[in-house]
Chains A and B, each alone.
Chain A
């Protein structure tokens, strides 16, 4: 029971402690005690002296809305893949809190490096879910403008983005954009002014990766290099327990968060299904980075409720009981329970968000089906900035090949519905409402 209960008032000591709530998470011995949790699976608020997060009702509602809408994007995308509209989808089901909590902790100027499952972070960075669908539908070669959203492109290669992020953070450092933050911002950095005001525009970097990536050399190199250079970076590891079919116990002898100690920087384990804890801990780590205190590793202890991707079948390698146990720790249910119990929201609000999610789902579905196929020759367009003889030859050959078919026209488009490009409902802009909620 090492979690300190802030102050020591009798009332606070009566609060359930993190370990109690985390019982059954069963990580390596002794690790459960260090799990940072601010909201139990049952929706009870826990005080934590190191993370005195204070969220307003409105902020809480905003987080809830994010969680629900992000989940809806995900389920809709899985459905679309199953209907042949997407080539692939990596579901974030179960990891909404880790992504929304950390994503909402970012300031506009912070740079994020995702792996390929960070749809929730993309949402928080104002990247339209449609951009994600374009990518997984194969009608776009990239996606979004990383500079515009301060959100790098998805990285499919496992763990390599941690090195990219470290390098980027060192650039930030060399640009003199960190370290100077001596403003009087409160340590918790909470409240309506949030982090945006923090550090006079000081910049921090966050790198997302999974438990599987920690087995890659890249991640160890990034840890070491970031530590040695005191780079302003937060390593945010979503430990969802499964690297495709490989369980965590076959990845590492020690809990992930303890690994940073060997490299010389702090590591923390947070309940990855607790959006408040993820928000508070990430905020603090970003703040430390901005202030020149170097990297932090955050292990968000969570669970991949779905398949690794739509190509995977998890029932082949994990038991249903495990899934059932984690269902009880759902990241959304606990926020809903807390909202209603604490009076921060009425039942009407929940219904409103559900309706908004339905609207979002419909829009996504229609817009996805209406996406035009790119012209086959367009793939040659962005390989080089200027003309290039070999590429030009290949393009001409391909054009001739296309022209060799007797039924001149391209195959008729799917007899698929959907007249024109569906009108964007207001909710379509929801993702763009960025960090203003917090």
Chain B
């Protein structure tokens, strides 16, 4: 016998209405015990682990990772009979679904599209909560006055009440004839963001003021809407839940992507692993999406979390630090041989040794020879801060987006320790467990765009750093070696630097040094 119970997403943070499902820790068929962590969710406030309320066996995961779920939505079904716990009452789900309002009295029925006012913030998302059906509406401020239906409303309940304590909202709908339309500042901003002209609207709020709903309706039905045709409210149930603010942000993101999108920033988290200095370019995604989504020519994707942080960081960096990027093609056959040799050393047992490790080491040596490359610009103090330590950042593509953790005091690490630090931090980043300290305080960054199969890019500086080195794919190419044409292993290095601090001469010297060390790793020893 099975006894299936559904666990509904609780409000874990005092008034939250939704959460993102980050990671399921169980799968169907897994036994679970009370208080065993079953899922990680991310709310506006925190990433939290949810524990199972029951003993049993997971019957079904009802929502997918990455999905944003309203509070109250069943997210997992657990067969509790399997655990031999006492049978509960039949698991009829939740409150009865809101029955359609009787007759036409539904003047007040907020067809799920109505925004619910709350104390703080912009309120509950459209359609995110079910409301109980109402009898008739002595208490409801109701657009009853404007309801077209002639159906008489049911008689008011005998208990009808002193009106003075009921909500007193006037049902006036005043068209803003002249003068400035009444609207609160956030509403004005929303109108501006959505390109809605306030003067063309009739407000449904108190004293004829324009509400967010009015704006939303106008934006959703630009054609249907006109001052004389405001009763499109019933359509609002079909409005896309994606909020206007998200849309606006997305536009900004796309614009920014067009502006600085180099080769290195066109990849979508391809699961390709290792490091890559990239993020999703809004434009690319949109184009791809349009092809797949039948009918829709555009798709709007809200900008959230890591993506938003990435967008802010790269945009901030690109527009404050004047970037210069230089390129150098290098014969890394020697480095590849050295990598192979190092892998056989006992010190590197169990550690992944990659060409990236040599690139990192070369950059560290170059920074020692040219300290100014490892510095930052202090705009406020009008000073250049030269760092005598290197917190070496590396771009890591993770499921949650681009992260740039950094290895503290990398200059002081032995090569095996550096290799281990890379491996550990990459794993931590992939697991989404980087601490804030690991993600801040970097001084230089390397990014391996080679793993995406490209040669070069114009990497954007990590904010507050003066240099970032991109390392391209290693390919076999015809190359003049010792006066002969030979097939050699070749890669391209791209170094972006903050031109306020680093002149072309210094930048070139650093890039040249790194290149020479990769051509002949023995130089690394000589210069170290």
Decide if A and B are genuine partners.
yes
CA distance A313 to B136 in the complex (A): 44
Number of chain A residues close to chain B: CB under 8 A: 42
CA distance A221 to B437 in the complex (A): 38
- A407-B161 contact given A311-B46, A416-B88, A417-B88, CB 8 Å threshold: no
Question: Would you call A406 an interface residue if the criterion is a C-beta within 8 Å of the partner chain's C-beta atoms?
Answer: yes
Q: List 17 A-B contacts (CB under 8 A).
A: A82-B48, A83-B53, A313-B47, A319-B436, A394-B165, A396-B161, A399-B159, A401-B139, A404-B136, A405-B134, A406-B135, A412-B95, A412-B96, A414-B94, A416-B88, A417-B5, A417-B89
Question: Would you call A386 an interface residue if the criterion is a C-beta within 8 Å of the partner chain's C-beta atoms?
Answer: no
Stretch in contact with the other chain, from B8-16, B114-122, B381-389 = B8-16
Q: How far is the CB of A388 from chain B (nearest CB, A)?
A: 14
Contact status A404-B135, CB under 8 Å: yes
* Chain A, 360-409, CB within 8 A of any chain B CB: 365, 393-394, 396-397, 399-401, 403-407
Question: Would you call A320 an interface residue if the criterion is a C-beta within 8 Å of the partner chain's C-beta atoms?
Answer: yes
Partner of B34, one of A312, A365, A406, A419: A365
Residues of A within 8 A of B157 (CB): 400, 403-404
CA distance A260 to B94 in the complex (A): 55
Partner of A406, one of B86, B102, B138, B435: B102
Question: Would you call B7 an interface residue if the criterion is a C-beta within 8 Å of the partner chain's C-beta atoms?
Answer: yes
> B interface vs A, CB < 8 Å?
5, 7-14, 34-35, 45-54, 86, 88-96, 99, 101-102, 132-140, 157, 159-162, 164-166, 435-437
Partner of A393, one of B88, B140, B164: B164
Residues of A within 8 A of B164 (CB): 393
Contact status B50-A82, CB under 8 Å: yes
Partner of B91, one of A313, A399, A415: A415
CA distance A397 to B161 in the complex (A): 6
CA distance A399 to B159 in the complex (A): 9
Partner of A79, one of B51, B91, B95: B51
Residues of A within 8 A of B101 (CB): 406
CA distance A415 to B51 in the complex (A): 19
Partner of A84, one of B11, B34, B52, B94: B11
CA distance A399 to B157 in the complex (A): 12
CA distance A66 to B14 in the complex (A): 30
Residues of A within 8 A of B5 (CB): 415, 417
CA distance A407 to B53 in the complex (A): 29
- A397-B162 contact given A405-B133, A418-B88, CB 8 Å threshold: yes
Residues of A within 8 A of B54 (CB): 417
Which residue of chain B lies nearest to A401 when distances are taken between CB atoms in the complex?
A: B139
Which residue of chain B lies nearest to A316 when distances are taken between CB atoms in the complex?
A: B436
Contact status A310-B12, CB under 8 Å: yes
Which residue of chain B lies nearest to A398 when distances are taken between CB atoms in the complex?
A: B165
Residues of A within 8 A of B136 (CB): 404
- A415-B13 contact given A79-B35, A393-B164, A406-B134, CB 8 Å threshold: no
CA distance A396 to B160 in the complex (A): 10
CA distance A85 to B34 in the complex (A): 14
Which residue of chain B lies nearest to A400 when distances are taken between CB atoms in the complex?
A: B161
Q: How far is the CB of A399 from chain B (nearest CB, A)?
A: 7
Which residue of chain A lies nearest to B36 when distances are taken between CB atoms in the complex?
A: A79
Contact status B137-A313, CB under 8 Å: no
Q: How far is the CB of A139 from chain B (nearest CB, A)?
A: 16
CA distance A85 to B437 in the complex (A): 34
Residues of A within 8 A of B88 (CB): 415-419
Residues of B within 8 A of A403 (CB): 135, 157, 159
Question: Would you call A81 an interface residue if the criterion is a C-beta within 8 Å of the partner chain's C-beta atoms?
Answer: yes
